[in-house]
Amino acid sequence: MGIRVKDLLISLVPVKKLRKHLKMHYGTYPYCILGKNVNIGTPENLKLGKYIFIGDNARLCCEGGLEINSHTQIGLDVLILTSNHNFKSETMIPYDEYNYKQKVTIGKNCWIGARVTICPGVKIEDGAIIGAGSVVTKSIPKCAIVAGNPAKIIGFRDIKVYDRLDKEGNSINFEKMPSPKWLEVSGYKEFLTEKYFGA
């Protein structure tokens, strides 16, 4: 995606705080923060809510339509695909000239980890968490926590707590975000043993 004129003008403002404010309110995607080298294909098919973060080097292929709802956080190197080749062709291999458009929708308050791949035609419901490196091939229900290749459900957020926080408006807001606080976590995770293999 090439730089747009208003984004270029904003980038020339010398005061960092003012530049951030202008980008947030008047940039190409208002109220969203895009990391470095974010690549958006067919941007006219992209629909964004407010207060969305998209990490460095993310690639959004929007040919089939991509909708990302408010307060969703997308990690670095994420790949979102919205179209696929026709590999069932009887005239050409590995695929023919036809491409299938398949919209992807990501709900509000979702957390998509680094290096996740989201395949065409997937719907990710509100509050879902996608673990780093996952490959999402099927739709994900509300507040599910998924991980792996292909991504599988490994748990759920507390839906009552999620609904209460959402109703109270306690979602990420970049303009009112407090400074990060670091908590020390001691100990290591368990060793992988035979019990994990069903033995």
Residue of 163, 164, 145 lying closest to 154 (CA atoms): 145
Name the token pair of 12.
């020339």
Question: Identity (one letter) of the amino acid at 35?
Answer: G
Residue 2 φ/ψ, nearest 5 degrees: -75, 155
Beta bridge partners of 33: 53
For residues 17 and 133, the model is more confident at 133
Measure the CA–CA gap between 136 and 120, rounded to whole angstroms: 9
- How far is the first Cα of the chain from the last one, in angstroms, to the nearest whole number? 51
Give the residue-averaged pLDDT of 152-172. Answer: 95
Give the residue-averaged pLDDT of 115-119. Answer: 98
pLDDT of residue 164: 96
Q: Which CATH superfamily is domain 32-197 in?
A: Hexapeptide repeat proteins (2.160.10.10)
Is 85 marked active-site? yes
Of 1-5, 118-122, 180-184, 187-191, which range is least confident?
1-5
pLDDT of residue 18: 81
How large is the C-alpha radius of gyration of the chain?
19
Name the token pair of 146.
């998924």
pLDDT of 194 over the 70 cut: no
pLDDT bucket at 178, cuts 50 / 70 / 90: confident
Paired sense of beta strands 79-80 and 117-118, if any? parallel
Domain boundaries, the chain: 1-30, 32-197
CB 143 within 8 A of CB 159: yes
